[in-house]
Amino acid sequence: MSWKEKLIIALDVSDAKQALSIVDMLGDYAGVFKVGFELFVSAGPKVVEDIHNKGKKVFLDLKFHDIPNTVTKAALAASRLGVYMFNVHTSGGLDMMKRCRDSVAELCLKENIQRPKIIGVTVLTSLDNGVLKNELSVSHGIKTHVKHLALLAQKAGLDGVVASPHEISMIKQHCGKGFLVVTPGIRPSWVPPDDQKRTATPKEALKNGADYIVMGRGILKQEDPIKALELISLEILTA
């Protein structure tokens, strides 16, 4: 798998027309596009259908987190949309994740739908040890907490987790190479980290074993996004 097949472009915009123009512009560089809160709330499920009609896959990044019954119903709706991947918060607990996973598997078998990959969100890249301890009352450090949540997601039968580049190697070590790690917080070496604290360059994340890297602002806010992608490619492929 080439690095471009591992690239997920984050469509962090509110306008469907703008989102689809990004898909057209960068479609040769990535096969998966992330639809998050902003775009989904403003444009609705139709934007997912429109991206599919352009021959591209969708990572539905809505981070489901609620009681098991509610999350399960949302997961079934996402599956019927035909998304390639969606995520749930691991902090929703084992029962929530397991019921979600089992219900999706049953639906896809019954309705002959391709089963989406279900990914558990561990600790957001905007958080650090200080926030975890002082605001969320989690006494152990981020790496220990991420490991615990990743193992919980694996126990529930999820396909992998969302985690920062700093935890990739640890997750692979404890959960195995086949357990997917989707990695946000990816910034080219020339781009500041913004509100994300646990970041890395694309080259560092891929070297550490990321299965997918999510990039948005680091590309789309550049004057020439295609040139930015070409520079990233050069940086990744250069020893």
Contact criterion met (CB below 8 Å) for 33 and 9: yes
Q: Which DSSP helix (H) or strand (E) runs through 63?
A: strand 57-64
DSSP code for 126: T
Phi (first) and psi of residue 162, to 5 degrees:
-95, 125
Nearest of 174, 142, 161, 158 to residue 210 by alpha carbon = 161
- 3-class DSSP state of 209: coil
Catalytic residue among 4, 57, 63, 73: 63
Nearest of 233, 125, 237, 232 to residue 189 by alpha carbon = 232
Name residue 61's beta-bridge partners: 36
Q: Where are the beta strands (DSSP E) in 116-203?
A: 117-121, 160-162, 180-183
Contact criterion met (CB below 8 Å) for 202 and 236: yes
| Annotated catalytic residue 6 | no
Which residues are annotated as catalytic?
A: 63
